[in-house]
Amino acid sequence: MKFINRKSELEALNEKWESGDPQMVILYGKRRVGKTELMKQFGKKKPFVYFLADKRNQIEQLREFGRIVGEFSRDTVLVKHGFTDWIEAFQYLKNLNKQFVLAVDEYPYLVESDPATSSLFQKGWDVYLKESGIFLLLSGSSIAMMESETLIQKSPLFGRRTGQLLVEPLSFEQAWKFFPKKTFHEFMRFYTITGGMPAYLSQMDPDRSPEENIESRIFSTTEFLFNEVEFTLKEELREPQNYLAILRAISWGKRKFGEITNETGLKKNVLTKYLNVLERLHLIDKEVPVTEYHKEKSRKGLYRISDNFFRFWFQFVYPYKSELQIGKTEEIIERYKTCSSSLEAVVYENVCCELLRGFEKNIFSFDRVGRWWEANTEIDIVGLNEKKKQILFGECKWSSKPVGTNVYADLKKKAGTVQWERSKREDSFILFSKSGFTDDMISLAKKEGVYLVHGNTLL
């Protein structure tokens, strides 16, 4: 896999390494987000031991772990016989008497094979490793299990970690580096499908169209992306069918709690639990108007799928699995061509929020950025500065037509209905456009100080 960016993550890890102190860092994030590559990049030019856990029993995994450590320490006896238990392993690691990185990947598999694993690692850290030269990285894709075993107060390893790092998907700008020859508009078409997941981006052939990539890399039943969503949910959840139903409902526009209830037939208390789990797994977000102070108490919450590929998969793979199984792809490709622009428009709004953060030096700093709505009125993007009472209203237009003064006039009218600090605030306006702006809008923007963004460029 091509390694892109992760500059801030590597800097954080290297800062801890350079301190020379023993470290236990919890590194977690969604499957395919690039955790393994990050650890391997961090381990370059350092004494580095990498162990990938799996679903074998504890005896076999200890033997494998011993072989890997033995090769690192050039201990032929250990290579041949391995370790008999974890305490023996921790004693051995302490006696190496040097600074080195030990990366234990997919740590949750060790816990599955023996529920006492985290307690043993706790004892190993307290008795042996916290006075050694080890830089211990515990990594996992099961966010729920990583949190329950290492991060929450009741977990055996709580209080032992010296740091934690949630590896997020790449931003739009970072992901664009996978396709450096693509224009903003061209890459948006790919990003709408893959999001910022390195494993998904690396599956796309930049020399082929999005439609060709979809047909060969996603619709083909032999490709891993065909079953990726179901596999991910089965790995993480005990009742994947109910979660599949919820995610499908949200992807098809059922974003209110009541709408999801009606679509899935799940009881309200059960649905609440499932939605909370999906939020914890970073698969969905509960979105509220940006001016709301208490997200958890808001009755205006709308749910959305936060992963671009999941959104795509639920719209173009999940409903048509029977057709795809027998190779009938033409009709679904045509359906995608018809719907792709509206799908890109949804993603474009999220990209505009990201771009706006990059324009803070040119506009003003934002405490919060997001959408706003009230009754039948919606504003695509609003940025707030609480202390200075500044507010920025914006519209994002993913259209083949240049944006004209009518869009700006409509935005000003809608801004007048927003009650936030109404008598004290300072209003500003910004327009994002795929296809540029009319001459009249450009002239008016200069006159009234309206910010204009064409693609990803602030004019």
Token pair of 458 as six digits: 């602030």
Reply yes or no on whether the pLDDT at 295 is more than 80.
no
Mean pLDDT of all residues in 113-129: 95
393 falls in which pLDDT band (50, 70, 90)?
Answer: very high
Reply yes or no on whether the pLDDT at 351 is more than 60.
yes
pTM for the complete prediction? Answer: 0.90
Q: What is the 3-state secondary structure (H, E, C) of 253-295?
A: CCCCHHHHHHHHCCCHHHHHHHHHHHHHCCCEEEECCCCCCCH
pLDDT, tens digit, for every residue of 307-324? 999 999 999 999 999 999
pLDDT, tens digit, for every residue of 397-413? 999 999 999 999 999 99
59 falls in which pLDDT band (50, 70, 90)?
Answer: very high
d(CA 236, CA 416): 45
The confidence score (pLDDT) of residue 1 equals 55
The confidence score (pLDDT) of residue 143 equals 87
274 falls in which pLDDT band (50, 70, 90)?
Answer: very high
d(CA 447, CA 387): 27
User: Which residue bears the tokens 């236990």?
Assistant: 24
Reply yes or no on whether the pLDDT at 433 is more than 80.
yes
2 falls in which pLDDT band (50, 70, 90)?
Answer: low
pLDDT above 90 covers a percentage of the chain that reads 88
302 falls in which pLDDT band (50, 70, 90)?
Answer: very high
The confidence score (pLDDT) of residue 142 equals 87
Mean pLDDT of all residues in 165-175: 94
Bridge-based pairing state of the strands 368-374 and 377-385: antiparallel
d(CA 14, CA 38): 12
**Could you tell me how many residues make up the chain?**
459
pLDDT, tens digit, for every residue of 241-262? 999 999 999 999 999 999 999 9
pLDDT above 70 covers a percentage of the chain that reads 100
For 403, counting Cβ atoms within 10 Å of its Cβ (0-12 exposed, 13-18 middle, 19+ buried), the class is: buried
The confidence score (pLDDT) of residue 5 equals 78
Mean pLDDT of all residues in 49-75: 96
Beta bridge pairs of residue 137: 25, 103
The confidence score (pLDDT) of residue 430 equals 98
